[in-house]
Each structure stands twice: as structure tokens, then as C-alpha cells.
């Protein structure tokens, strides 16, 4: 089998990869919805993959893996890798999890990072009301993640939150020392959310990036009695193109509250310092950014050897990305906690992807399906209607 074409279409803001072969089997991969600009980046790799055997996934990846970078620039490579595994599974008539070593679990746990409701405000009461709505969501999530601190509007809407100058722009640009009032405000919001959840639902917090080390330590110690699932991306993370493992290590070894990072990290090598320094208790690589699903599994295995837990990121990965997460997380070792359940936008995405369970999530769990490849596919007739004029030949 040989690859004859690599295509990319932007469907509802998601860059979608299609790898075409000379045996009539196609494979699909998907990048996060905020990344429509990736299409030319995906197509950059076409000369490097056409003519290769897509079932030799690692051989193909060796041709392109080094030409990626931290989030968002590893997304194109990651989506191509997903599509290769989709083809390999279809060619073998096996689900991808079989090709990755087989199932460890028949159901995979997910946590809520994407089933959201509008915030009334960023007061403790506003957080409590919002958390009550998420707790009541029909998916029955056993862990809910909420944005606070620099991963929220707090720096710009809470008076005297930080001593630093703040900017109301995207990609989390704010960073600086919190005022005493700002730190107390964050702690009060966390307490309000825990009062709603009690010990029935775990609470994880998406915190930054942007915290200073002294504030991170003060905050983590202040909430130790609340048994939080983790504090995520306090110092670096998201679109930060570096890790600063030594700073995370200082925080981690100063508190019993689990510290988490990793969604922006590309490739296994860039997790090495975090593991060698025991710098975090939880890592959260995203299969759509880390280099693909096999890369994520490698990171999980290495984390397990170091006693570090695994909670993959995935909020923007869409329905093809959801399928990839289900397949790989079924195979992960026992350091696996849950992956971040991707919702998708617009809602019509659920009408153009076939073979998803209905409902997808029951009591915070997804049953692992056994269809070949990633186990989902496009309803081509419905999906064609969503293509832009530039992408009309995507399914041809």
C-alpha cells in the first residue's frame, strides 16, 4: 500500500487531514478548532509522505516528526499521525487500540473541560452557580475542570488582582505577582466551587500560565485541605514554547496539591526534564499537539515509570480527535486518570460524523468501540455540504 495524496480541509474551523492510498483506503485526522490557519502547514508535509506505506506508521513519522514544534506547530504532524493509524487499523481490519498493544480497560473515563455554561461573573457566587450547572450535566462527569487566575478573565475584571499590567487579548498573555486581595479572591472562588461539589465530584483547576513561583506555592498550600485533583499550567503551558521544569519542581516539592502541565509540549523528549526532576504529579499531553497517539502512549509509559499520573488534554480536538483519544487511552497504563472530553463546534459536526455512540458519555465513561481504525468516519454526503469552495475536492 502506498500513500497517493495528502489533503487538508477546514471544516467548521477544524483542520481535517485525509490521507489517500492506492488501495482505496483513506485515513482521517483532526486538529483543534481554533487552528484553521494550519492548512498550508499540513500540506507542507505532502512531499515527505506521498509514496510511503502508511501502515509503517513510525517510518513515515521519522520523515516529518522533527519538522514540528510546541503548540500550535506540532498539530499538523499530530493530525497526520492520527490519519496513518486510521489507515493501519482499517487495512488490518482492527481497531487502533489492538495495534497499540491492546486494551487495558473496556471503558475510558473522561473529565469535563468543554461542557461549559456562561459565567454570570467571576465572584465566588458566580463560580458556585456555574459549577452547579456543570455538576448537573447529563454526562455525569466525575471530574470537572474550571479556569481560574490567569486562565480566566480575573486579571482584567477583578479589581487590583495583580501588580502587573494586564492585557485583554487571547493566548493568555498575562503574568505577574498577585496582590493579597487577588490571591484571596482566587481561594474564595475555589472554596465556593468545592462547597458545590463536595466529595462527589473531583475539582481540577486550569490556572495559567502566568503565576510566579511564590504565588503558586502560596496558592497550592492554601488549598491543600480541599483535595483538588490538580492545579494545571500554573507557570507555563498552553501556547508557551518551553517548560521550565526546575520552577515546576520547586512548586511540586513545596505542596501536597498535585501540580499538572503538558498540553503544549511537543514530543516525548520535551517531557524528559519534568520526569527526571519529578517536577509535576500529573501530565496532560494532547494527542493533537504532542505528535500523535503513539507519542502520547510513549509519554504515558515513561510517566508511569516515574510515578507520574496521566490526564490527556483534548478540549478542542473534535470528533475525530475524540475517537483517537478513546483508542489510545484504552491502552494506557494504570497511571491514567481521565482525558478531557472534546466538545465540537458548530453543533452540525455531530451530523457529519458516523458511528459515534449516543449518548457518547455515560456516568463520565465512554465505552471503547471495536470498529476498524479510529472507528468513526464521515457521512460524506452531509459533510460535503459543509465544505468551503476551496475544499470541494476533499472527499474526491
Q: Return d(Cα 262, Cα 238) in angstroms, integer.
A: 8
Q: Are strands 107-111 and 339-340 parallel, antiparallel or unpaired?
A: parallel
Q: Return d(Cα 145, Cα 115) in angstroms, integer.
A: 10
Percent residues over pLDDT 70 in the chain:
100
Q: Is residue 396 part of a domain?
A: no
Reduce the DSSP state of residue 230 to 3 states and report it: strand
Count of C-beta atoms within a 10 Å radius of residue 24 = 7
Contacts of 69 (CB under 8 A, 6+ apart): 241, 266
Residue 14: CATH number of its domain: 3.30.390.10
Q: Return d(Cα 215, Cα 184) in angstroms, integer.
A: 11
C-alpha cell at 157: 475584571
Q: How confident is the model at residue 167 (pLDDT cuts 50, 70, 90)?
A: confident
Q: Is residue 318 part of a domain?
A: yes
Instruction: Clarify whether residues 49 and 186 are in a common domain.
Output: no
pLDDT for 182 beyond 80: yes
Contacts of 169 (CB under 8 A, 6+ apart): none
Contacts of 348 (CB under 8 A, 6+ apart): 12, 386
Peptide bond into 48 cis (omega under 30): no
Q: Is residue 362 part of a domain?
A: yes
Q: For residue range 319-369, what is the model confidence (pLDDT) as tens digits? A: 999 999 999 999 999 999 999 999 998 999 999 999 999 999 999 999 999
Instruction: Clarify whether residues 113 and 82 are in a common domain.
Output: no
The DSSP string of 146-203 is EE-GGGSSHHHHSTT-BSS-----SS-----PBPHHHHHHHHHHHHHHHHHHTTTSEE
pLDDT for 294 beyond 80: yes
HSE (side-chain half, CA atoms, 13 Å) at 158 = 27
Q: Return d(Cα 374, Cα 357) in angstroms, integer.
A: 13
Q: How confident is the model at residue 169 (pLDDT cuts 50, 70, 90)?
A: confident
Q: Is residue 125 part of a domain?
A: yes
Instruction: Clarify whether residues 323 and 364 are in a common domain.
Output: yes
Contacts of 222 (CB under 8 A, 6+ apart): 183, 187
Q: Is residue 67 part of a domain?
A: yes
The DSSP string of 243-301 is --HHHHHHHHTT-SS-EEE-TT--SGGGGHHHHHTT--SEE---TTTTT-HHHHHHHHH
Q: Are strands 259-261 and 282-283 parallel, antiparallel or unpaired?
A: parallel
Instruction: Clarify whether residues 177 and 315 are in a common domain.
Output: yes
**Residue 171 confidence (pLDDT):** 85
Domains: count for the chain: 2
Instruction: Clarify whether residues 384 and 368 are in a common domain.
Output: no
C-alpha cell at 302: 515513561
Instruction: Clarify whether residues 111 and 26 are in a common domain.
Output: no
Count of C-beta atoms within a 10 Å radius of residue 381 = 9
Instruction: Determine contact, residues 50/18, Cβ cutoff 8 Å.
Output: no
Q: Is residue 74 part of a domain?
A: yes
Instruction: Clarify whether residues 242 and 346 are in a common domain.
Output: yes
**Residue 345 confidence (pLDDT):** 85
Instruction: Clarify whether residues 329 and 274 are in a common domain.
Output: yes
Strand order in the sheet with 3-11: 3-11, 14-21, 26-30
- Nearest CA to 150 among 247, 70, 233? 233
C-alpha cell at 376: 468513526
Q: Are strands 259-261 and 230-232 parallel, antiparallel or unpaired?
A: parallel
Instruction: Clarify whether residues 12 and 107 are in a common domain.
Output: no
Instruction: Clarify whether residues 42 and 168 are in a common domain.
Output: no
pLDDT for 270 beyond 80: yes
Q: How confident is the model at residue 267 (pLDDT cuts 50, 70, 90)?
A: very high
C-alpha cell at 238: 498552553
Average pLDDT over residues 6-27: 97
Instruction: Clarify whether residues 106 and 65 are in a common domain.
Output: no
**Residue 241 confidence (pLDDT):** 97
Contacts of 158 (CB under 8 A, 6+ apart): 122, 182, 185
Domain that holds residue 49: 3-93+379-391
In degrees and rounded to multiples of 5, residue 370 shows phi and psi of -115, 10
Instruction: Determine contact, residues 261/288, Cβ cutoff 8 Å.
Output: no
Q: For residue range 184-208, what is the model confidence (pLDDT) as tens digits? A: 999 999 999 999 999 999 999 999 9
Residue 207: CATH number of its domain: 3.20.20.120
Q: Is residue 19 part of a domain?
A: yes
**Residue 274 confidence (pLDDT):** 98
Instruction: Clarify whether residues 197 and 303 are in a common domain.
Output: yes
Instruction: Determine contact, residues 148/186, Cβ cutoff 8 Å.
Output: yes
Amino acid at each position: 500500500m502506498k500513500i497517493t495524496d495528502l489533503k487538508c480541509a477546514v471544516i467548521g474551523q477544524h483542520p481535517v487531514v485525509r490521507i489517500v492510498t492506492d488501495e482505496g483506503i483513506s485515513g482521517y485526522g483532526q486538529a483543534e478548532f481554533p487552528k484553521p490557519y494550519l492548512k498550508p502547514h499540513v500540506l507542507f508535509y505532502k512531499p515527505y509522505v506521498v509514496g510511503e506505506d502508511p501502515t509503517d506508521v513510525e517510518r513515515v513519522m521519522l520523515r516529518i516528526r522533527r519538522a514540528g514544534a510546541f503548540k500550535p506547530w506540532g498539530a499538523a504532524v499530530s493530525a497526520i499521525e492520527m490519519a496513518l493509524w486510521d489507515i493501519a487499523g482499517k487495512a488490518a481490519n482492527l481497531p487502533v487500540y489492538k495495534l497499540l498493544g491492546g486494551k487495558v480497560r473496556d471503558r475510558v473515563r473522561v473529565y469535563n473541560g468543554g461542557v461549559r455554561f456562561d459565567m454570570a461573573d467571576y465572584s465566588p457566587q458566580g463560580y458556585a452557580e456555574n459549577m452547579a450547572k456543570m455538576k448537573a450535566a447529563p454526562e455525569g462527569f466525575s471530574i470537572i475542570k474550571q479556569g481560574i487566575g490567569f486562565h480566566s478573565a480575573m486579571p482584567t475584571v477583578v479589581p487590583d488582582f495583580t501588580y502587573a499590567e494586564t492585557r485583554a487579548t487571547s493566548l493568555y498573555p498575562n503574568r505577574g505577582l498577585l496582590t493579597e486581595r487577588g490571591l484571596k479572591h482566587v481561594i474564595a472562588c475555589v472554596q465556593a466551587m468545592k462547597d458545590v461539589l463536595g466529595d462527589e465530584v473531583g475539582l481540577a483547576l486550569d490556572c495559567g500560565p502566568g503565576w510566579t513561583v511564590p504565588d503558586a506555592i502560596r496558592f497550592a498550600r492554601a488549598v491543600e485541605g480541599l483535595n483538588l485533583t490538580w492545579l494545571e499550567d500554573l507557570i507555563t503551558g498552553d501556547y508557551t514554547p518551553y517548560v521550565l521544569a526546575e520552577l515546576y519542581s520547586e512548586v511540586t516539592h513545596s505542596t501536597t496539591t498535585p501540580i499538572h502541565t503538558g498540553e503544549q509540549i511537543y514530543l516525548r523528549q520535551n517531557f524528559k526534564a519534568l520526569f527526571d526532576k519529578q517536577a509535576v504529579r500529573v501530565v496532560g499531553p494532547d494527542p493533537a499537539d504532542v505528535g500523535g497517539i503513539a507519542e502520547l502512549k510513549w509519554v504515558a509509559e515513561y510517566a508511569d515509570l516515574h510515578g507520574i499520573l496521566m490526564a490527556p488534554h483534548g478540549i478542542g480536538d473534535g470528533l475525530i480527535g475524540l475517537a483517537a483519544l478513546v483508542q489510545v487511552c484504552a491502552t494506557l497504563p494504570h497511571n491514567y486518570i481521565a482525558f478531557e472530553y472534546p466538545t465540537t463546534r458548530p453543533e452540525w459536526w455531530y451530523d457529519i460524523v458516523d458511528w459515534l455512540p449516543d449518548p457518547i458519555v455515560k456516568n463520565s465513561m465512554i465505552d471503547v468501540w471495536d470498529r476498524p481504525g479510529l472507528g468513526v468516519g464521515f457521512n460524506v454526503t452531509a459533510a460535503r455540504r459543509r465544505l468551503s469552495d476551496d475544499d470541494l475536492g476533499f472527499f474526491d
